[in-house]
């Protein structure tokens, strides 16, 4: 393991490049990244073995759940239970602690923090164009770039095993993530900062690159259908009655806030939505003022976030035009104990800032809550369109190797917006050494994930923790 004195040396070396008194050329920054290999050879990213004092993974999960809604924790554990992949998705805190014990390059970016294959997906730009990007930023924080790469590659190795693929194929998935990341970083450093910032992953173009004609045509049809459906709004979530517009109940994932003392009072949710408006840019403030909040409901969200407060706000105009916004609780990032605390005291602001920094096309309604005296930090965004999101899931299930490279490329684009693409490119190099190291790590940590998952299963069977299934 790289000791603290060596880490300090790396940080001092980087400071001269990252915080220069004058601008530094791409060639010099790339050379600095290459020189970092002397301090932290790329092969050092390959091996994984748990330290002797490694915390019990189940205890780590219990600790991270102490600030969550107690009645929802069994549902969280139930969703983590089916497979090593579902466990990995809910165990970001476990992996963050493990990554912190390993050597780091010292090259920091705005990291996703929970970078796995299910946290990428499809959403519509303000113009209605489908975009593929990272879509979960609850754990975002400045951190070493390779932490995201390692978690993403591991998720593909675990998913490959779950799909019954041979070990060689699973290694190929993990290596494909690193390869695509490395190649796209090299492409981005050749662009001007403005050109690199403007790049995005156009989903239609990505689908057009699928080699299999039958699969390509199928996904093109699905995309067209999903885009057309998204233009019609959310008819399945909104109901009209003599009492007006309401969010349709869908127990156990969507239900009224009234009568749920363990969640949050409806009035508190409405107050939070009101305070959020103050964080919007003036033009967005003008836009949202054309709507009024008419209903709120609690929503249970994905595996990693189950147990945090999350609600849907239904906004409408006098003519019945609707807008659905999601308010979601933001706690301290799981990376914070190891990468340093956020510069933002409001964790909702941390999430929003990270998302704006990493996503190519940010949500126009993205903001955070600032209710005086409220220690529950939240952020607000448009509710994800499940029909568009399903396109990403289809790609993952039908074309896992293609999807691995698409995610690796997307992560490189996100990192290049906040980090130094030239320095990263210099460090990862033009050969396959970095790719091989990441693939080795991914398989080794996939083994660790399977061991942790079995311990998790034992904890449920013994009654240490309770797990409940979705109704």
pLDDT digits (tens, 9 = 90+) for 74-101: 999 999 999 999 999 999 999 999 999 9
Q: Are residues 28 and 122 in the same domain?
A: yes
Residue 11 confidence (pLDDT):
47
**Selection from 457, 393, 395, 400 nearest residue 157 by Cα:** 400
Residues 99 and 200 in one domain: yes
Q: What is the number of domains present in the chain?
A: 2
Residues 304, 218 share a domain: no
Same domain? 184 vs 324: no
Domain boundary among 382, 413, 434: 382
pTM listed for this prediction: 0.90
Residue 43 lies in a domain: yes
Q: For residues 106 and 18, state if they share a domain.
A: yes
Query: Looking at the structure, do residues 109 and 186 belong to the same domain, yes or no?
Result: yes
DSSP annotation string for 46-96: T-----TTPPPHHHHHHHHTTTS-GGGHHHHHHHHSS-HHHHHHH-HHHHH
Residue 471, domain member (yes or no):
no
d(CA 400, CA 409): 14
> Based on the domain organization, do 224 and 242 belong to the same domain?
no
Assess whether 411 and 344 both reside in one domain.
Answer: no
In a domain, 117, yes or no: yes
Q: Using CA atoms, how far apart are residues 257 and 265, in angstroms rounded to an integer?
A: 6
* pLDDT value at residue 72: 86
- Identify whether residues 321 and 423 lie together within a single domain: no
**Same domain assignment for residues 160 and 89:** yes
pLDDT at 229: 67
Can you give the pLDDT at residue 178? 98
Tell me which residue range forms the domain holding 327: 236-382
Q: Is residue 404 part of a domain?
A: yes
| Shared domain check, 273 and 206 | no
* DSSP three-state, residue 396: helix
pLDDT interval class at 10 (50, 70, 90):
very low
Q: Which residue has the higher pLDDT, 376 or 193?
A: 193
The H or E element that residue 208 is part of is: helix 203-208
Average pLDDT score, the chain: 87
Tell whether 357 and 258 lie within a shared domain.
Answer: yes
Q: What is the pLDDT of residue 67?
A: 83
Tell me the pLDDT tens digit for each residue of 96-133. 999 999 999 999 999 999 999 999 988 877 777 788 89
Q: What is the DSSP string of 317-369?
A: -TT--EEEEEEEE----TTHHHH---S-SSHHHHHHHHHHHH-SS--TT-EE-
The predicted structure's pLDDT at residue 426:
98
Mean pLDDT for the stretch of residues 135-156: 97
């Amino acid at each position: 393991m790289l000791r603290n004195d060596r880490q300090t040396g790396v940080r001092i070396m980087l400071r001269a490049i990252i915080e220069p008194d004058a601008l530094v050329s791409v060639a010099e920054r790339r050379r600095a990244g290459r020189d970092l290999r002397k301090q932290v050879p790329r092969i050092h990213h390959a091996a994984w073995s748990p330290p002797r004092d490694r915390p019990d993974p189940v205890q780590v999960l219990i600790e991270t759940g102490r600030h969550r809604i107690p009645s929802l924790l069994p549902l969280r554990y139930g969703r983590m239970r089916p497979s090593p992949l579902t466990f990995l998705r809910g165990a970001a805190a476990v992996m963050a602690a493990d990554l912190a014990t390993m050597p780091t390059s010292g090259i920091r970016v705005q990291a996703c923090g929970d970078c796995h294959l299910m946290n990428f997906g499809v959403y519509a730009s303000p113009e209605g164009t489908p975009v593929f990007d990272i879509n979960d930023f609850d754990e975002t924080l400045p951190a070493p770039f390779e932490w995201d790469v390692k978690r993403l590659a591991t998720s593909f190795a675990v998913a490959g095993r779950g799909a019954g693929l041979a070990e060689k194929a699973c290694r190929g998935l993990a290596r494909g993530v690193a390869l695509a990341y490395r190649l796209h970083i090299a492409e981005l450093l050749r662009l001007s900062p403005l050109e690199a910032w403007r790049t995005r992953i156009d989903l239609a173009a990505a689908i057009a690159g699928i080699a299999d004609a039958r699969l390509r045509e199928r996904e093109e049809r699905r995309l067209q259908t999903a885009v057309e459906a998204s233009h019609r709004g959310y008819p399945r979530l909104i109901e009209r009655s003599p009492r007006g517009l309401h969010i349709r109940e869908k127990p156990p994932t969507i239900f009224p806030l009234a009568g749920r003392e363990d969640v949050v009072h409806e009035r508190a949710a409405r107050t939070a939505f009101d305070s959020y408006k103050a964080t919007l840019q003036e033009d967005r403030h003008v836009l949202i003022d054309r709507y009024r909040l008419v209903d709120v409901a609690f929503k249970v969200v994905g595996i990693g976030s189950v147990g945090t407060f999350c609600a849907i706000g239904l906004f409408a105009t006098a003519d019945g035009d609707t807008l659905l916004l999601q308010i979601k609780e933001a706690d301290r990032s799981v990376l914070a104990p190891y990468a340093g605390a956020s510069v933002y005291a409001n964790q909702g602001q941390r999430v929003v800032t990270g998302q704006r920094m990493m996503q190519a096309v940010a949500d126009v309604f993205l903001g955070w809550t600032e209710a005086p005296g409220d220690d529950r930090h939240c952020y607000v965004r448009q509710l994800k369109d499940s029909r568009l999101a399903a396109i990403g899931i289809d790609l993952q299930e039908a074309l896992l190797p293609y999807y691995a490279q698409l995610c690796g490329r997307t992560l490189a684009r996100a990192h290049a917006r906040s980090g130094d693409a030239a320095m990263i490119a210099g460090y990862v190099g033009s050969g396959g050494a970095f790719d091989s190291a990441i693939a080795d790590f991914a398989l080794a940590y996939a083994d660790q994930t399977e061991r942790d998952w079995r311990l998790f299963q034992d904890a449920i069977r013994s009654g240490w923790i309770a797990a409940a299934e979705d109704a």
